[in-house]
Structure 1
Amino acid sequence: MLPGIGIFGCGELVRILVANLRSKGFRVEAIWSHCLETAQQMARELDIKLATDVIDRVLLESSIQLIVIACPPHLHEQIATKACGIGKHVLCDCPPALSYDQMLAMKKAAFNYPSLITIFFNTLRFLPAFVKMKSLIADGYIGQINVINCNVFGSSLQGLDNYSVSCDELMGGGLLSTIGTHVIDIITFVTELRAKRVTGIVKSFNQLKDNVFGLRRITADDFVTFQMEMQNSLTVANVTLNSHYCGKFSHEILICGSKGYLVCRSGDLYAQLNSSGKEELLFADSDDPISDNCPYGKGLSRMLSALKNAFQFSPETECMPNGFNDGDGHPNNGSGVDVHSNDEILHRWAKEAVGLAANFEDGLYVQAVIEAIKYSSKNREWVRIKYDMN
């Protein structure tokens, strides 16, 4: 049985999420916004029965077992830690949090309840092109990785229609937080390498826009470039995020090795070996559920399909394994079950189905890199990455 879902947030992402969740068979039971009127309006438009501006009203709703966090990042820690504490699964939007300390608290909350599904919207991980790229790199297809080059260009990356938290760097706005989060994560996912130190430039060129009124300036960055020296000291990653490009949206991740290169362009995978005379197409992504060329939208449907599979058990998995319960009613072996006091089984889940997803520990690493890049930009120096793995 699929769990009921409570959604935090009322942005455009929520509309896309609700449509995709319902197409997979999930029930959206409640929606939250800091403004009750906004929540009620969204609930009427999307046919959601409960609308509220009280966080605990959604968290404590008995029909809800999965919390989707798509609200401003300053609320992520509060909602995620509470949800984990009462035994509810969490699917959280990016950026992970406003600070490293907030993300650390989220990671510790998830660590205390290891059977729960606690993942981020890092949808690139679910694209077949990146899964295949990861496999080829692990098999030594391009040899030793030397250079990683990532370019994301587009004229509407920020999507600012009026002044909101997305205009404010301190509230989690800007390309580094919204797009850079995904890029940093996917580099580690496909290469299994993490950054050792970084240097970067984070700039906000367009601080005034015609559709943003008043005396407030936009502090969210609209151009970012940074380099990462990876932990093996043999690989360097160069990333550029540019919202000043007026052409077609472009998303390219290039991995160059000693034997050749692999490149993913908007969900399609290409390769060329040193012994070959031309580039060849290894995988073409024909599935485009959001009807655009954005790989993030393409990965969303696949991620939610995997989430659906996590809550669907075959007849062979109906029995609970030995040692299933930790003594406090919480499963601890990667599979889960919700039970009443009368032992009636309500929901089962298997975390393996969403094994590709970025968990809260991955989010902690990404948050550490983001903060190091911002520090580097302000102080104009290389910064070593420090993050707590315990």
Structure 2
Amino acid sequence: MLPGIGIFGSDPISKVLIEILGHLEFDVHAIWTNISDKETRNLIKSSNLVTNSIDTVLLNKNVQLVFVCCQPNFHSQICTKALGIGKNVICLNPTCSDRVEIEQMIVSARYYPCLLSSICFGGLRYLKEYTSLKNKLNLIGDIKVCNITINCHNIVMARNQMHQSLSNKKFQLDILSEIVDKINLNVSSTSAPGSVNWLSDKDLGAGVLNRYGAAIISMILDMLEGKKVTKVFGCLKTLVDTFPESGNGKNNFTIRKITADDYCTFQLNLEPGSVLINVCINSLAHSKYSHEINVCGSRGVLKWIDSNVYHVNFDNYNLNSAIIDSNNNESTYPDSNNENTVPENDPKSQACEEFLNNYAKIEDTYPELPFLYVRGLYFYLKKVKEKFIEFHNLKSNSKKSATVPFPSENLDNFEHTRLIQTVVKSIYQSSCENRWVPVKY
């Protein structure tokens, strides 16, 4: 009933993906890496599941669903090939930014409506905090402004910290997620082509705008349904443009410069209603990921701070604050644990929370993987599982099972990718030209 999995990419997100898929009862049959150092080649020879050939994964008869979580410039090639031979495809952010390549992905997806073709922009909108926020928008009246502040780790520097965390680890190379860890250790201690360098190159899709900004834009457009970004203003900076020393004490890529943005701020103007969105993303804080989202309306404010959602009501010029729990109820006295409260009589929810608690400190080892995004990915994959079960039932009850379209409601498709990347490209243009830029769809 559930499809076999093939994974393209060996970044830290692949390790988490393997573990979550295993928890959700998916089987991973193959993983592709483009890392080519000597130790990784030896790992490939000793493992039947790891390969450096794209076709080996795609032609594996046990693989029906592929996850593309490698560097963005490979996304179009892999997606179009996979859909062309009848494989379902899911891309993880950061995704392909070239418009021509995105169009190729869209054409392939339209040609095969019976296959799933989806993109996961961080999974923020699958979190119950986001659901609470969206369901309470009617309490604050007409939305005027939304302010979003994000502090996080510098992605390039994060690989150095990851090396230090993994260097003393003993690996069980009969476990696929441990093999991915070993590959990441090899990458962070060498200057292997295709390892750290794409994370530093804005032309390959790196930078905080494409990684976190795109996820925020996707969430905003879903939250404010019916509204469209008409113009943008952005400022992107690369404030740290040299590579740090790697785990072996050497400086990698000394002849290269980092071009990916590590700080960005941008404004979006949404119509109708002239809603202004202000976003600031700072990776120079060198801290665990944290965000504060303030949605300001004519009658109140909704705040999403990390894992808690608050409602501030304007009542006779007094501020009455209440926290919104996971059941969408308000309580007068905020309790920081309310948002993650699990009903005692719901064993499935308890098992889910127990599993996710294993990743509560994931940023200590993998600073580039915010816990909030790991949770979002989990609930996104849970939704994908439900859709495949629904699809199986639809085919079983249909006389023409071969023509039943995949039920992809609530899963973003490649056309959504084009929409988000159009806005992102406009922000890049605005930063270069230092002016408001209209978004041309």
1:42/1:93 Cα in 2 relative to 1: closer, same or farther (>3 Å)?
Answer: farther
SS at match of 1:141: helix
Out of 170, 180, 198, the residue aligned to residue 213 of structure 2 is 180
Tell me how far apart the structure 2 counterparts of residues 179 and 247 of structure 1 sit (CA, whole Å).
15
Tell me how far apart the structure 2 counterparts of residues 217 and 42 of structure 1 sit (CA, whole Å).
31
- 2:2 aligns to what? 2
> Does residue 240 in structure 1 map to residue 280 in structure 2?
yes
Which shows bigger deviation, 70-79 or 267-276?
267-276
| Partners of 1:125 and 1:357 within 8 A in 2 | no
- Provide structure 2 residue ranges, at least 5 long, that are not aligned to the other structure: 161-187, 189-195, 246-250, 326-337, 341-352, 362-369
**Residue deviations 1:297-343, cap 9 Å, x none?**
11121112222222225997574336x45xxx4433x4xxxxxxxxx
- 1:142 aligns to what? 140
- 1:342 aligns to what? none
**Residue deviations 1:112-165, cap 9 Å, x none?**
22232211222111101112222333xx22211110111111234552435420
| Partners of 1:202 and 1:377 within 8 A in 2 | yes
- Provide structure 1 residue ranges, at least 5 long, that are not aligned to the other structure: 335-349
Tell me how far apart the structure 1 counterparts of residues 159 and 412 of structure 2 sit (CA, whole Å).
27
Q: Structure 2-normalised TM-score?
A: 0.76
1:40/1:71 Cα in 2 relative to 1: closer, same or farther (>3 Å)?
Answer: farther
> What does residue range 345-364 of structure 1 map to in structure 2 within 5 Å?
350-351=407-408, 355-364=409-418
Out of 264, 267, 273, the residue aligned to residue 227 of structure 1 is 267
Tell me how far apart the structure 1 counterparts of residues 6 and 428 of structure 2 sit (CA, whole Å).
33
> Does residue 110 in structure 1 map to residue 187 in structure 2?
no
1:28/1:42 Cα in 2 relative to 1: closer, same or farther (>3 Å)?
Answer: farther
- 2:93 aligns to what? 94
- 1:296 aligns to what? 373
- 2:386 aligns to what? 309
SS at match of 1:301: helix
- 2:241 aligns to what? 207
**Residue deviations 1:69-97, cap 9 Å, x none?**
01100000111111122221111111220
SS at match of 1:2: coil
Shift of 1:40: 6.3
Identity across matched positions, percent: 30
| Partners of 1:155 and 1:249 within 8 A in 2 | yes
- 1:338 aligns to what? none
Which shows bigger deviation, 237-246 or 159-168?
159-168
1:187/1:160 Cα in 2 relative to 1: closer, same or farther (>3 Å)?
Answer: same
Tell me how far apart the structure 2 counterparts of residues 315 and 364 of structure 1 sit (CA, whole Å).
29
Structure with greater helix share of residues? 2
SS at match of 2:389: coil
**Residue deviations 1:153-204, cap 9 Å, x none?**
1234552435420011111111011111111111111112331110100100
> What does residue range 263-342 of structure 1 map to in structure 2 within 5 Å?
263-275=303-315, 277-283=319-325, 284-286=338-340, 287=353, 288-289=356-357, 290-292=359-361, 294-313=371-390, 319-321=396-398, 324=400, 329-332=402-405, 334=406
- 1:347 aligns to what? none
| Partners of 1:84 and 1:116 within 8 A in 2 | yes
Which shows bigger deviation, 378-387 or 1-10?
378-387
Tell me how far apart the structure 2 counterparts of residues 170 and 79 of structure 1 sit (CA, whole Å).
19
Tell me how far apart the structure 2 counterparts of residues 67 and 315 of structure 1 sit (CA, whole Å).
18
Considering only aligned residues, what root-mean-square deviation do their CA atoms show, in Å? 2.3
**Residue deviations 1:13-41, cap 9 Å, x none?**
11111111111111100111124663763
Tell me how far apart the structure 1 counterparts of residues 116 and 413 of structure 2 sit (CA, whole Å).
8
Shift of 1:369: 0.8
| Partners of 1:253 and 1:264 within 8 A in 2 | yes
| Partners of 1:230 and 1:236 within 8 A in 2 | yes
Which shows bigger deviation, 145-154 or 299-308?
299-308
Shift of 1:359: 1.8
Tell me how far apart the structure 2 counterparts of residues 330 and 84 of structure 1 sit (CA, whole Å).
15
**Matched positions, count:** 359
- 1:120 aligns to what? 119
| Partners of 2:395 and 2:404 within 8 A in 1 | no
